[in-house]
Amino acid sequence: MDRHLGRVATDVLVVGSGGAGLRAALAAHDEGAKVVLVSKGLLRMSHTRMSGGRFQAVTGFDPEDSRDLHFKDTMAGGAYLNNPELVQTLVDDSLDRAYDLEDFGLIWGRVDDTEYRVVGVGGGTRLRLLGAQDEGVGIAETLINQMFARDIPYLEYVMAIELLMVGSRVAGAIGYDLLNGGWVVIEAQTVILATGGASQLYATNSGPILNSGDGLGMAFRAGAELIDMEFFQYIPISFVYPQSIRGYTLLEPQYYGRRHWDVDGEPGHLLNIEGERFMKRYDPERMESGTRDVLAQAIFSEIRAGRGTPEGGVYLKADKSIQEIFLKERPMYVRRILENYGPGTARFDDPLQVTPSALYTVGGVRIDANGRTSIDNLFAAGEVSGGVHGANRVGGNSLPDIQVFGFRAGKAAAQMALAGRNPAGQDLDKPADDVVKRAARRVQPIGRNGATRVAQVKKRIQEMMWDHVGVIRDGAGLAETLDRLSGLRKSIDNGIQISAVKTLNRELQEYFEIDNLLDVASVMTSAANFREESRGAHFRSDFPEVRDEWACNIVVQNQNGEPSLRKRGLKYAKAS
């Protein structure tokens, strides 16, 4: 495809090259639609690729497991705020999508010629995780190879900036070609957002540098409903240093003791700088085997109280007797620990330094079982969508999520595009004026030589989000953050410096991203401020208990640039 066209027309536009976007592109193509996939970086810069590749599906290899149990585990993990229809779809389709991946060229780990190796996870009751040594890389490569085999056109370095609207329906997107510098208009019958989460809201995060909530920002500005945005999953333990890897997940404390392989075993021990096993003050019953949210809150509190290490973490003492089995199951982690913390730590002679980190955007664009959003012709799948995981995500559910809903969104978007194919050219010659104006405003600061660096603005957002809208939140901090965010939004263009370079202008890209980060931050902060209770991944120190009146979802929508919030009743009555 000619990169310099500036104008591209297709049936289905897929935004994002992670597992959801690629799966959607394959499904839409197989349905007979013309597909174009755009990604703002290289195809391989995705969050899927960073994952451990553990895929939750009821395979039948654990005779006591059932789809019913998978459903229940997922609902319980999500504190029953999940959309039960989405969870049922996830549970019903996940094995088929796992088989698809094997048909596509991935090989799941097995114990026998035709029997998969299944393992357990925190929050799951049975052995239900498929996995393989090639982790997320294998899944991403497999899908990319399939996209190549179908010759689906893709545009790397094209960042979608705004959705194009015709009336009340989406009709494509306006993107910026970061490789050559310039606008690209992509006309499409249907658009699938698969842009991933917004872990860049926090400096200590486990995701790729590109996860800046672009799809969330675009959908919000276009008027789509966002749901469960107050919930962000924090992994309790991650690397503290070096800077480059800070925040990258170190799994769970149970992996560092026998607990992960033996339900009667002990997890690894968390110690503060005084050598105290502090979990006894937070969760004396479960200690380090507790849920991710409680662990993250405890570690966060210890560090904040000054009982952390000089580097800003706490210690995790591993059980030396598990090193062989740990190496066998997680060789990549042993290598990472070796390279970053040294051989003594990799042999578990010395403790690891760990800190909580931002892992997963639980909420997102509200979808139905076919990935349809509240806006006509707009679909979403994967981390950008919301409703599947409720108030918190169970480990191993994100990969089936991207495959199941990527597939469904791709298929549905293709069918809709083919059914409603408008004559070429249609009415897009005059895309909504405000979108074009808004887009044009974005590039005004190019070449400006102010005193403020884009990187500094991003750091400011990340710091305030971590301090006030992170692991532990309270009303005063949330309200203050909302004020500061809107102040930042107003002043951002004053004195900003953006390089004038045309090819691969990283500063311009980050400037575009900040726009999305600010929108997502204000949505998340408003929702967190609204929900006056603690539930799932959302912890309020001023409302530390679950409160019955908050057994509901919060839906956020754009109203003249500001988030407007409302409660939405649950469809699922908690099974007693």
Partner 1 sequence: MLRHLNVSVYRFDPAKDGVPRYDTFSVPAFPEQRVLDVLRYIYENEASDLAFEFACRTSRCGTCSVLVNGRSVLACQERAKPNMRVEPLSPPFPVVRDLVVSRQQVDDNRKRLNLTPVGLESTQGGIPSERGPLRISEEKAEKQQLINSCINCQLCVTECPAVHLREFEGPMLMAQLRRLDEHPVDRQDRAGQAVEGGLYECFSCDICTEVCPVEIPLADQIRHFRQDILFGDGS
Partner 2 sequence: MSKGEYGFSPGRVRLPRDRSRRAESFSVARLGRLLYRYSGAVLGAFVLLHVLGQGFLRIPALRAISPEVGSSFLAYLQHVPVVRGVVFFAVVFHFLYGLRIMLSEVGWRSAHRPAVAGTVVLALIAGVWEAAF
**Binding partner 2 by CB under 8 A: which of 145, 323, 452, 497?**
323
d(CA 142, CA 144): 6
3-state DSSP assignment of residue 280: helix
d(CA 203, CA 138): 27
**Binding partner 1 by CB under 8 A: which of 66, 301, 497, 557?**
497
Task: Select 340 or 529, whichever has its Cβ closest to partner 1.
Answer: 340
CA separation (Å) from 399 to 56, 167, 271, 404?
A: 8, 35, 32, 8
d(CA 256, CA 265): 11
CA separation (Å) from 366 to 47, 334, 408, 517, 549?
A: 21, 38, 15, 19, 22
Q: Which residues ranging from 131 to 170 are in contact with partner 2 (CB under 8 A)? A: none
CB 465, CB 481: distance < 8 Å? yes
Tell me the window of 14-22, 196-204, 322-330, 477-485 that interacts with partner 2 (CB under 8 A): 322-330
Q: Does 103 bind partner 1 (CB under 8 A)?
A: yes
Tell me the window of 180-188, 330-338, 409-417, 565-573 that interacts with partner 2 (CB under 8 A): 330-338
Q: Which residues ranging from 373 to 402 are in contact with partner 2 (CB under 8 A)? A: none
- The label of the residue with tokens 């409660």 reads 567
Q: Which residues ranging from 59 to 118 are in contact with partner 2 (CB under 8 A)? A: 117
**Binding partner 1 by CB under 8 A: which of 71, 116, 543, 550?**
116
Query: Binding string to partner 1 for residues 137 to 166, with x set by CB under 8 A, is what?
Result: xx--xx-xxx-xx-x---------------
Tell me the window of 187-195, 295-303, 331-339, 508-516 that interacts with partner 2 (CB under 8 A): 331-339
Report H helices in 150-291.
214-222, 279-282
d(CA 78, CA 355): 23
Q: Does 4 bind partner 2 (CB under 8 A)?
A: no
**Binding partner 2 by CB under 8 A: which of 262, 311, 532, 562?**
262
d(CA 188, CA 379): 12
- The label of the residue with tokens 């609207």 reads 165
Return the DSSP state at 556: E
**Binding partner 2 by CB under 8 A: which of 60, 105, 312, 343?**
343
Task: Select 328 or 430, whichever has its Cβ closest to partner 1.
Answer: 328
In sequence order, what are the residues at sequence separation of 6 or more whose Cβ sits closer than 8 angstroms to the Cβ of residue 456?
none
**Binding partner 2 by CB under 8 A: which of 325, 440, 500, 546?**
325
Q: Does 455 bind partner 1 (CB under 8 A)?
A: yes
CA separation (Å) from 152 to 13, 106, 116, 139?
A: 11, 20, 31, 18
Task: Select 289 or 526, whichever has its Cβ closest to partner 2.
Answer: 289
CB 152, CB 24: distance < 8 Å? no
Name the binder of 26 from partner 1, partner 2, none, CB < 5-8 A by kind.
partner 1
Name the binder of 320 from partner 1, partner 2, none, CB < 5-8 A by kind.
partner 2
Task: Select 105 or 420, whichever has its Cβ closest to partner 1.
Answer: 105
Binding site for partner 2 (CB under 8 A): 117, 119, 127, 258, 261-262, 320-325, 327-329, 331, 334-335, 338-340, 343, 346-347
